[in-house]
Amino acid sequence: MRQFLKQTFASLIGSLFSLIIFLGLGTTGLLLLIIAVASRDTGPQVQDKSVLVFDLSVNITDNDPVSTTSEALTEAISGEEANSITLRAVLDTLEAARQDDRIQALYLDGSRSIAGSNTGWATLTEVRSALEDFRAADKPIIFYDLILGEKEYYLGSVTDEIVLNPMGAMEFNGFASEQIFFKGALEKLGIGVQIVRVGKYKSAVEPFILQQLSPESREQIQQLINDVWGEMLAKVGKSRQMNPQQLQAIADSQGVLMAKDARQQGLVDKVAYFDEVVAELKKLTGNSKEDKSFRQISLNTYAKVVSKDSKQRSSENKIALVYAEGEIVNGQGSVQQVGGERFAKQIRQLRLDKDVKAVVLRVNSPGGSATASEVIQREVRLTRKQKPVIVSMGNVAASGGYWISTYSDRIFAQPNTVTGSIGVFGLLPNLQELANENGITWDIVKTGRLADISSINRPKTEQELEIYQKMVNQTYNQFLDKVAESRKLPKPKVAEIAQGRVWSGIDAKQLGLVDEIGGLDDAIAYAAKQAKLENDWEVQEYPEVRSLEERIVESLTGQTSFGKDQLPESLSREFQKLQEDLAILKAMNDPRSVYARLPFNWRLD
For residue 392, pLDDT over 90 is answered with: yes
Q: What integer pLDDT is reported at residue 82 of this predicted model?
A: 59
Determine the average pLDDT of the residues in 583-601: 46
Q: How far apart are the C-alpha atoms of 155 and 57, rounded to whole Å?
A: 12
Determine the average pLDDT of the residues in 13-21: 49
For residue 228, pLDDT over 80 is answered with: yes
Q: What integer pLDDT is reported at residue 595 of this predicted model?
A: 43
Determine the average pLDDT of the residues in 504-529: 96
Q: How far apart are the C-alpha atoms of 524 and 599, rounded to whole Å?
A: 57
Report DSSP letters for 301-367, one per residue: HHHHHHHHHHTT---SSEEEEEEEESEEESSS--TTEEEHHHHHHHHHHHHH-TTEEEEEEEEEE--
Nearest to 163 by CA among 278, 70, 86: 278
The least confident of 309-318, 455-464, 508-517 is 309-318
For residue 81, pLDDT over 70 is answered with: no
Q: What integer pLDDT is reported at residue 565 of this predicted model?
A: 45
Identify the active-site residue in 139, 151, 202, 235.
Answer: 202
Share of the chain above pLDDT 90, in %: 53
Highest mean pLDDT among 34-48, 353-367, 460-474, 584-598: 353-367
Q: What integer pLDDT is reported at residue 530 of this predicted model?
A: 96
- Secondary structure element (H or E) that encloses residue 248, with its range: helix 244-253
Q: What integer pLDDT is reported at residue 526 of this predicted model?
A: 97
Highest mean pLDDT among 46-55, 479-488, 545-554, 571-580: 479-488
What is the 8-class DSSP label of residue 294? -
Mean pLDDT, the chain, rounded, equals: 83
Q: How far apart are the C-alpha atoms of 447 and 450, rounded to whole Å?
A: 9
**DSSP SS3 for 579:** helix
3.90.226.10, 3.90.1150.200, 3.30.2350.10, 3.20.20.70: CATH of 50-173+254-307: 3.90.226.10
Nearest to 120 by CA among 59, 65, 171, 55: 59
Q: How far apart are the C-alpha atoms of 524 and 306, rounded to whole Å?
A: 19
Q: What integer pLDDT is reported at residue 88 of this predicted model?
A: 92
Q: What integer pLDDT is reported at residue 442 of this predicted model?
A: 87
Q: What are the residue ranges of CATH 3.90.226.10 in the chain?
A: 50-173+254-307, 314-423+471-536
The answer to whether 75 touches 67, Cβ cutoff 8 Å, is yes
Using pLDDT thresholds of 50, 70 and 90, give the confidence band for residue 2.
Answer: very low
For residue 8, pLDDT over 60 is answered with: no
Identify the active-site residue in 399, 405, 421, 504.
Answer: 399
Q: What integer pLDDT is reported at residue 562 of this predicted model?
A: 43
User: How confident is the model over 151-168, as pLDDT tens digits?
Assistant: 999 999 999 999 999 999
Q: How far apart are the C-alpha atoms of 572 and 35, rounded to whole Å?
A: 10
The least confident of 21-25, 236-240, 281-285, 454-458 is 21-25
Nearest to 508 by CA among 384, 424, 422, 388: 422
One-letter identity of residue 583: A
Share of the chain above pLDDT 70, in %: 78
Q: How far apart are the C-alpha atoms of 88 and 234, rounded to whole Å?
A: 25
Q: Which residues pair with 257 in a beta bridge?
A: 170
Q: What integer pLDDT is reported at residue 75 of this predicted model?
A: 54
For residue 482, pLDDT over 90 is answered with: yes
Quick one: 115 exposed, middle or buried, by C-beta within 10 A (0-12, 13-18, 19+)?
Answer: exposed
User: What residues contact 305, with CB distance under 8 A and at least 6 apart?
Assistant: 43, 44, 45, 46, 297
User: How confident is the model over 19-75, as pLDDT tens digits?
Assistant: 444 444 455 555 554 455 444 455 678 888 899 999 998 989 998 755 445 555 555
Determine the average pLDDT of the residues in 244-261: 94
Task: Please state whether 257 falls in left (phi above 0), alpha (psi between -120 and 50) or beta.
Answer: beta
Q: Is 202 a catalytic residue?
A: yes
Q: Is 399 a catalytic residue?
A: yes
Q: How far apart are the C-alpha atoms of 9 and 16, rounded to whole Å?
A: 10
What number of residues does the chain have? Answer: 605
User: How confident is the model over 262-294, as pLDDT tens digits?
Assistant: 999 999 999 999 999 999 999 888 888 878 889
Residue 123 sits at φ, ψ, to 5 deg, of -65, -45
Would you call the peptide bond into 543 cis, given omega within 30 degrees of 0 as the criterion?
yes
What is the distance of C-alpha 559 from the center of its chain? 28
Q: What integer pLDDT is reported at residue 248 of this predicted model?
A: 96
Q: How far apart are the C-alpha atoms of 173 and 505, rounded to whole Å?
A: 23
The CATH fold of domain 314-423+471-536: 2-enoyl-CoA Hydratase; Chain A, domain 1 (3.90.226)
Strands 270-271 and 192-198, by their bridges, are: unpaired
User: How confident is the model over 361-372, as pLDDT tens digits?
Assistant: 999 999 888 889
For residue 578, pLDDT over 60 is answered with: no
User: What residues contact 47, with CB distance under 8 A and at least 6 apart?
Assistant: 102, 295, 297
